[in-house]
Chains A and B, each alone.
Chain A
């Protein structure tokens, strides 16, 4: 009975998670080993088992590797940028008087609350070649921000960071507030500058929080879809700005290739699972028992 008790406690969560999460993942895995397209769904053609055929197709496509590499690079840059912006503003929040602090918090919450679709569209309008506010302010009307690959990634990346920095900022702000004032006071009495106090005192004390925020950002940025899909019209000129999720959608779901799409889905799930393992390890280290 004693051995069974932990499982008993897990039962309510399992009752929700198994049907809502386990079953779709199971179906995803199942579909990924079949040749399963619209013709098979509506019964026009029989469903055939192709084993690892879909996986071989995906992994054998050089475009998949190119997009995967691009996704990893873009996500890495986004994580660094989000963290830098979030951390800088979190420190700023602790230093300013209440009214600017409230204004900054509200602005951040607004960005956080904006649906990805709406935010992307608004940013796209801001950077419109002919009518955009940015071009009109800079006096470079007609400049197309979505032409060069890296400029495009820059604008889309800024949108993503705008969407995701509030979480980092508020988490780190809460963390900084929790640092006892006496510690910082001791540091300054010992002659530490603000810069040193930040790197030598705050960062080590915030390390567990930072780890969690980083891993959450990795998962978030790796799965990026809406901003790229909306702002670059599905991957940019000649698909140069495509990321893994957009690629999966276009090569698979847009063409009703459900089997192939499921295989890409399974591969993405596995990659994210590995990252999640690191996340769980990080949670353990902070002493937050699961």
Chain B
């Protein structure tokens, strides 16, 4: 019996507080192996070809340096990989590609190095720089972005004599007309779980995630949830749709419109809607205005645990520079973040015009704060949309509730 007490006492003594990782193991060696983590892709070969080209150029310019590229999965398991790299310097790479919505959490964890001084004078819009910054410190170079615009079916629109909408009001009217005249089609594929399809409506009205109970945000929420109705996209079918499902609906030819990204092009081209669609920017409330799009994308950052800090920064500048951004567009279709690189690809590819017009008109981003991860994981915005769409709450009630949840998320971080 005494033995058990002793054992218990021992356990208590040795573990009086939860453990944390050692402060940091970074360094600035000028030779050796530079370790780089990039995200794996369903079709990795073209990406790898561009990256290897950059590696060749880099090692030619730096004596005694090798570059080791590792491809990591984009599944939620990536969080565990990154947390491991932050906790254990020995398993940390020097350079890593990461999703810009993950940034706030990684920065709060102290995982990435402040590169503000190293990346001065980039030819990039302020909104894009913001998507790589926390509290005025820049934690990486935006490498590419994905932008959503309005895809519509040219055959359906010309058959019904409709024009591509230039305001949200026209969009709603067109969607109702389609549903009325062709009941087998959804007017527009929208989903109750499609956060980045709904947010442009909120932003277009002048609202934001941090002020969901304001009159502007309510106007946006009302406009979006008006589409989740029997005369456009019935809630029975659409209330639980995610963004990915709306892509499927549009691609399979079941919807006359959809809010899809430049990165969804191949999916649509592989479906029934192929070659029967065109793209225009998602309109705003005023006729001729554009709704701000969400600037989701990936950044290149240098880890705090990096052993080759200067080399890592040089590599980020090379791979994230104009030449390789253009090459990455050609290989993967990723939209460049540098304004000059975008101008160059726009000249080559008319398909991109609506997306680039959207970027030029201004993009928006989610709050760069660990609170966003909580808001996203807690499904605050989908819950708000679904409650309105299923008539469980009015717009006012649902937005008030969501605003409270957003405030609570910020309060704890």
State whether the Cβ of A118 lies closer than 8 Å to any Cβ in chain B: no
State whether the Cβ of A127 lies closer than 8 Å to any Cβ in chain B: no
- How far is the CB of A40 from the nearest CB of chain B, in Å? 6
Q: CB-defined interface of A37-65 with B at 8 Å, one 1/0 digit per residue?
A: 11111111101000000000100000000
State whether the Cβ of B235 lies closer than 8 Å to any Cβ in chain A: yes
**Judging by beta carbons under 8 Å apart, are A38 and B377 in contact?**
no
Least CB separation from A233: chain B residue: B240
**Judging by beta carbons under 8 Å apart, are B21 and A238 in contact?**
no
A26 vs B13: C-alpha distance in the bound complex, in angstroms? 13
* From B20, B23, B110, residue with most partner A Cβ within 10 Å: B20
A269 vs B212: C-alpha distance in the bound complex, in angstroms? 36
State whether the Cβ of A170 lies closer than 8 Å to any Cβ in chain B: no
State whether the Cβ of B15 lies closer than 8 Å to any Cβ in chain A: yes
A195 vs B87: C-alpha distance in the bound complex, in angstroms? 65
- How far is the CB of B24 from the nearest CB of chain A, in Å? 8
- How far is the CB of B264 from the nearest CB of chain A, in Å? 20
Q: A43-B20, A239-B379 are in contact. Are A38 and B239 (CB under 8 A)?
A: no
Contact among B22, B23, B193, B377 with A254 in the assembled complex (CB-CB below 8 Å):
B377
Tell me which of B58-66, B135-143, B383-391 binds A: B383-391
State whether the Cβ of A216 lies closer than 8 Å to any Cβ in chain B: no
Contact among B17, B83, B111, B382 with A47 in the assembled complex (CB-CB below 8 Å):
B17
Interface residues of A in 239-277 (CB under 8 A from B): 239-240, 250-251, 254-257
State whether the Cβ of A222 lies closer than 8 Å to any Cβ in chain B: no
Least CB separation from B375: chain A residue: A255
Interface residues of A in 66-85 (CB under 8 A from B): none
Least CB separation from A53: chain B residue: B412
* From A30, A39, A40, residue with most partner B Cβ within 10 Å: A39
- B105 cross-chain contacts in A, Cβ below 8 A: 38, 256
- How far is the CB of B113 from the nearest CB of chain A, in Å? 13
Q: A42-B83, A44-B108, A239-B379 are in contact. Are A30 and B23 (CB under 8 A)?
A: no
Contact among A44, A236, A256 with B373 in the assembled complex (CB-CB below 8 Å):
A256
Contact among B87, B373, B383 with A41 in the assembled complex (CB-CB below 8 Å):
B87
**Judging by beta carbons under 8 Å apart, are B377 and A43 in contact?**
no
Chain A interface size band reads: 35 or more
**Judging by beta carbons under 8 Å apart, are A255 and B109 in contact?**
no
Least CB separation from B87: chain A residue: A42
- How far is the CB of B219 from the nearest CB of chain A, in Å? 21
Q: CB-defined interface of B181-220 with A at 8 Å, one 1/0 digit per residue?
A: 0000000000011000000000000000000000000000
State whether the Cβ of A237 lies closer than 8 Å to any Cβ in chain B: yes
Least CB separation from A260: chain B residue: B412
- How far is the CB of A225 from the nearest CB of chain B, in Å? 16
**Judging by beta carbons under 8 Å apart, are B1 and A42 in contact?**
no
* From A18, A129, A255, residue with most partner B Cβ within 10 Å: A255
State whether the Cβ of A168 lies closer than 8 Å to any Cβ in chain B: no
**Judging by beta carbons under 8 Å apart, are A38 and B18 in contact?**
no
- B390 cross-chain contacts in A, Cβ below 8 A: 147, 237-238
State whether the Cβ of B6 lies closer than 8 Å to any Cβ in chain A: no
State whether the Cβ of B117 lies closer than 8 Å to any Cβ in chain A: no
A144 vs B7: C-alpha distance in the bound complex, in angstroms? 56
**Judging by beta carbons under 8 Å apart, are B386 and A30 in contact?**
no
- A257 cross-chain contacts in B, Cβ below 8 A: 374, 412
Interface residues of A in 18-32 (CB under 8 A from B): 18, 23, 26-27, 30-31
State whether the Cβ of B4 lies closer than 8 Å to any Cβ in chain A: yes
- How far is the CB of B139 from the nearest CB of chain A, in Å? 12
- How far is the CB of B84 from the nearest CB of chain A, in Å? 9
State whether the Cβ of B294 lies closer than 8 Å to any Cβ in chain A: no
**Judging by beta carbons under 8 Å apart, are B18 and A30 in contact?**
yes
State whether the Cβ of A153 lies closer than 8 Å to any Cβ in chain B: no
Contact among B110, B239, B242, B412 with A43 in the assembled complex (CB-CB below 8 Å):
B110
State whether the Cβ of B152 lies closer than 8 Å to any Cβ in chain A: no
Least CB separation from A40: chain B residue: B20
**Judging by beta carbons under 8 Å apart, are B235 and A37 in contact?**
no
Contact among A18, A144, A240 with B236 in the assembled complex (CB-CB below 8 Å):
A144
A57 vs B111: C-alpha distance in the bound complex, in angstroms? 28
State whether the Cβ of A165 lies closer than 8 Å to any Cβ in chain B: no
- How far is the CB of B314 from the nearest CB of chain A, in Å? 26
Contact among A42, A47, A256 with B18 in the assembled complex (CB-CB below 8 Å):
A47
- How far is the CB of A223 from the nearest CB of chain B, in Å? 21
- B15 cross-chain contacts in A, Cβ below 8 A: 26-27, 30
A250 vs B382: C-alpha distance in the bound complex, in angstroms? 14
Contact among B18, B237, B387 with A144 in the assembled complex (CB-CB below 8 Å):
B237
State whether the Cβ of B77 lies closer than 8 Å to any Cβ in chain A: no
**Judging by beta carbons under 8 Å apart, are B374 and A43 in contact?**
no
Q: A41-B83, A254-B377 are in contact. Are A47 and B240 (CB under 8 A)?
A: no
**Judging by beta carbons under 8 Å apart, are A38 and B83 in contact?**
yes
A26 vs B236: C-alpha distance in the bound complex, in angstroms? 46
A255 vs B412: C-alpha distance in the bound complex, in angstroms? 12
State whether the Cβ of B73 lies closer than 8 Å to any Cβ in chain A: no
**Judging by beta carbons under 8 Å apart, are B20 and A237 in contact?**
no
**Judging by beta carbons under 8 Å apart, are A40 and B110 in contact?**
no
**Judging by beta carbons under 8 Å apart, are B7 and A18 in contact?**
yes
**Judging by beta carbons under 8 Å apart, are B108 and A250 in contact?**
no
State whether the Cβ of A34 lies closer than 8 Å to any Cβ in chain B: yes
**Judging by beta carbons under 8 Å apart, are B22 and A43 in contact?**
yes
**Judging by beta carbons under 8 Å apart, are A255 and B373 in contact?**
yes
State whether the Cβ of A280 lies closer than 8 Å to any Cβ in chain B: no
**Judging by beta carbons under 8 Å apart, are B240 and A146 in contact?**
yes
- A237 cross-chain contacts in B, Cβ below 8 A: 192, 239-240, 386, 390
Q: List the 5 closest A-B pairs by CB distance, nearest first.
A: A44-B110, A254-B377, A42-B86, A238-B386, A43-B21
Residue contacts A-B, CB under 8 angstroms, 24 given: A27-B15, A27-B18, A30-B17, A31-B18, A36-B18, A39-B110, A41-B21, A42-B110, A42-B111, A44-B86, A44-B109, A44-B110, A47-B18, A144-B237, A147-B235, A147-B239, A233-B240, A236-B240, A237-B240, A237-B386, A238-B386, A240-B392, A255-B373, A255-B377
A residues adjacent to B (C-beta < 8 A): 4, 7, 14, 18, 23, 26-27, 30-31, 34, 36-45, 47, 57, 129, 142-144, 146-147, 233-240, 250-251, 254-257
- Known A142-B237, A144-B236; further 12 A-B contacts with Cβ < 8 A: A7-B1, A23-B11, A34-B18, A39-B110, A40-B18, A42-B110, A44-B111, A146-B240, A147-B390, A239-B383, A251-B378, A254-B378
